[in-house]
Amino acid sequence: MTKITPEHLTRGAFVYVRQSTADQLVNNHEIRRRQYALVDRARALGWAAVEVIDDDLGRSGSGIARPGFERLLAAICEGRVGAVVSIEEASRLARNGRDWQTLLEFCGLVDTLIVDEDGVYDPRHPNDRLLLGMKGTMNEMELSLFRQRSLEALKQKARRGELFLTVAIGYVKTSHNRIENDPDRRVQEAIALVFVKFTELQTVWQVHLWMRQ
C-alpha cells in the first residue's frame, strides 16, 4: 500500500534547500542544483503545490539559528505540509539530534511524510520511525568524524610548522605556505615608525599616545 494518500497530496510538498557554508555556495553549485531539482521529484510523486524553503543557504546546521528550518516546522504544525523533501538522506534536514527528533515528532503528529532520494517515510509507522532514527544517528556520527578528522589534520600541519590561521600585521601569506613581508610600502613604513618611536619613548603606552595625537 502506498504511503502517499490523497490527503497528503491536498497539502503542499516542501523542498528544504540548505548548504552549510558560504564557501559551498561559491564553489559547490551542483549540490544546490540537485536540491532545487527536487521540485520535479515532488511533482512526479503527485504534488501540484510545491514550495521551496531556501532561507538557510550558507548556514550551518550545528547550533546556530536557521530561519528556514523554523519556518518549515511552523508550516508542519499548521497542517500545510504533506511531505518534506530533501536530497541524499532525510537526516540532512537537521544536523543535530535535537532538531531531527523535533522534526520527526511534528511530522508524526500531523501525518507529514518525509521524502529523500532513497524513498518515502511515514514517521507514524514504527519501522519507518526506526529507520529515520538510525539515519539521524548515523548522520550525527558522520559529522563528528568529519570534525575529528579536520582537527587532526590541523594538528598535523601545526606539528610540521605549516599551520597559519592568522598572519601578523606587516606580513602576508604567499604560495607554498611561506610568510613574507607585506609588499605595501605604506605598511612597511608604518611598522618601522612604531619601532622608531618605541626606541625613542621607551614604553608602548607612550607610543600609543603619540600615534593617537
* Same domain for 183 and 135: no
Output the pLDDT for position 78.
92
The answer to whether residue 105 is domain-embedded is yes
* Same domain for 92 and 190: no
The answer to whether residue 155 is domain-embedded is no
The answer to whether residue 50 is domain-embedded is yes
Q: Which of 54, 82, 80 is nearest to 66 (CA)?
A: 54
1-31 tens-digit pLDDT: 488 999 999 999 999 887 766 666 666 677 7
Q: Look up residue 150 and give its three cell numbers.
A: 579536520
The last residue of one of the domains, among 105, 131, 146, is 146
Highest mean pLDDT among 86-100, 141-155, 197-211: 197-211
pLDDT above 70 for 64: no
Which amino acid is residue 131, in one-letter code? L
Q: Look up residue 82 and give its three cell numbers.
A: 504533506
* Same domain for 58 and 101: yes
- Could you tell me where the DSSP H helices lie in 111-203? 126-159, 185-201
Catalytic residue among 20, 60, 62, 175: 20
pLDDT average, residue stretch 49-60: 80
The answer to whether residue 38 is domain-embedded is yes
* Same domain for 197 and 101: no
Higher pLDDT, 184 or 142: 184
Q: Is-catalytic flag, 20?
A: yes
What is the extent of the structural domain holding 59?
A: 6-146
Residue 59's CB is within 10 A of a number of other CB atoms, namely 18
Output the pLDDT for position 160.
80
Number of domains forming the structure of the chain:
2
* Same domain for 179 and 93: no
pLDDT average, residue stretch 53-67: 70
The answer to whether residue 160 is domain-embedded is no
pLDDT above 90 for 80: yes
Output the pLDDT for position 60.
58
* Same domain for 177 and 140: no
105-140 tens-digit pLDDT: 999 999 999 988 778 999 999 998 888 888 777 777
Output the pLDDT for position 69.
86
* Same domain for 140 and 180: no
The answer to whether residue 55 is domain-embedded is yes
Output the pLDDT for position 1.
47
Where do we find the cell 604567499?
174
* Same domain for 185 and 100: no
Burial (CB < 10 A; 0-12, 13-18, 19+), residue 81, is buried
User: 18: domain CATH number?
Assistant: 3.40.50.1390
The last residue of one of the domains, among 103, 131, 146, is 146
* Same domain for 51 and 126: yes
Q: How far apart are CA 36 and CA 86, in angstroms?
A: 10
The answer to whether residue 159 is domain-embedded is no
The answer to whether residue 120 is domain-embedded is yes
Highest mean pLDDT among 17-26, 56-65, 80-89, 171-180: 80-89
Output the pLDDT for position 152.
86
* Same domain for 182 and 90: no
131-144 tens-digit pLDDT: 888 877 777 777 77
Q: Look up residue 87 and give its three cell numbers.
A: 536530497
* Same domain for 105 and 16: yes
* Same domain for 182 and 114: no
